[in-house]
Homo-oligomer: A and B are copies of this chain.
Amino acid sequence: MKKDYIFTPGPTPVPPEVGIAQVKMIHHRSADFGALLERVLEGLKYVYQTDNEVLLFTSSGTGAMEGSIASCFSPCDKVIAFAGGKFGERLVEISSAFGLEVVAIEHEWGANADPADLARALGANPDTKGVLLTQSETSTGVVNDVEAFGKIVAATDALFLVDAISGLGAVDLKTDAWGVDLCVSGSQKGLMVPPGLAFVAVSDKAWNAARIATCPSYYFSFEAARKSQSKSPPETPYTPAITLVQGLDVAIGMLREEGLDAVFARHRKLARATQAAVEALGLRFLAQDRSRAFVTTSVWAPDGISAGDIVKLMRNEFGVFIAGGQGKLKGKIFRLGHVGYFDPFDIVVQVGALEMALNKLGVPVELGSGVAAAMEVLAG
> Does any Cβ of B come within 8 Å of A23's Cβ?
yes
- A27 and B59 contacting across the interface, CB-CB below 8 Å: no
A196-B97 contact given A8-B27, A27-B6, A58-B58, CB 8 Å threshold? no
- B315 and A30 contacting across the interface, CB-CB below 8 Å: yes
- A239 and B60 contacting across the interface, CB-CB below 8 Å: yes
- B195 and A239 contacting across the interface, CB-CB below 8 Å: yes
**A345 cross-chain contacts in B, Cβ below 8 A:** none
- B98 and A216 contacting across the interface, CB-CB below 8 Å: yes
**A22 cross-chain contacts in B, Cβ below 8 A:** 19, 22-23, 194, 243
Interface size class on chain A is 35 or more
Chain B residue with minimal CB distance to A246?
Answer: B194
Contacting residue for A195 out of B10, B14, B58, CB 8 A: B58
Contacting residue for A99 out of B59, B216, B239, CB 8 A: B216
**A218 cross-chain contacts in B, Cβ below 8 A:** 62, 66, 93-94, 97-98
Chain B residue with minimal CB distance to A97?
Answer: B218
**A4 cross-chain contacts in B, Cβ below 8 A:** 26
**A60 cross-chain contacts in B, Cβ below 8 A:** 58, 219, 238-240
Provide the A177-196 mask, 1 if CB < 8 A to any CB of B, else 0. 00000000010100000111
**A243 cross-chain contacts in B, Cβ below 8 A:** 19, 22, 194, 196, 243-244
> Does any Cβ of B come within 8 Å of A228's Cβ?
no
Task: Tell me whether chain A's interface is mostly helix, strand or loop, or mixed.
Answer: loop
> Does any Cβ of B come within 8 Å of A24's Cβ?
yes
Give complex CA distance A240, B244 in Å. 12
Provide the A182-226 mask, 1 if CB < 8 A to any CB of B, else 0. 000010100000111000000000000000000111111100000
- B58 and A239 contacting across the interface, CB-CB below 8 Å: no
**A321 cross-chain contacts in B, Cβ below 8 A:** 27, 30
> Does any Cβ of B come within 8 Å of A34's Cβ?
no
Provide the A26-47 mask, 1 if CB < 8 A to any CB of B, else 0. 1111100000000000000000
- A194 and B242 contacting across the interface, CB-CB below 8 Å: yes
Give complex CA distance A66, B58 in Å. 14
Chain B residue with minimal CB distance to A4?
Answer: B26
> Does any Cβ of B come within 8 Å of A20's Cβ?
yes
> Does any Cβ of B come within 8 Å of A25's Cβ?
yes
Chain B residue with minimal CB distance to A221?
Answer: B97
Chain B residue with minimal CB distance to A64?
Answer: B219
**A14 cross-chain contacts in B, Cβ below 8 A:** 25
Give complex CA distance A6, B242 in Å. 13
**How far in angstroms is the closest Cβ of chain B from A141?**
18
**A195 cross-chain contacts in B, Cβ below 8 A:** 28, 58, 239-242
> Does any Cβ of B come within 8 Å of A234's Cβ?
no
Interface centre among A22, A98, A215 (most CB of B within 10 A): A22
Give complex CA distance A28, B196 in Å. 12
Contacting residue for A25 out of B19, B66, B186, CB 8 A: B19
> Does any Cβ of B come within 8 Å of A167's Cβ?
no
21 contacts between A and B (CB under 8 A): A6-B25, A11-B25, A11-B239, A11-B242, A19-B22, A19-B24, A22-B194, A28-B195, A29-B323, A58-B58, A58-B60, A58-B196, A62-B218, A63-B219, A94-B218, A97-B221, A195-B242, A196-B243, A215-B216, A241-B241, A243-B243
Known pairs A29-B323, A59-B59, A196-B243 / 6 extra A-B pairs, C-beta < 8 Å: A58-B58, A58-B196, A97-B218, A186-B239, A188-B239, A195-B242
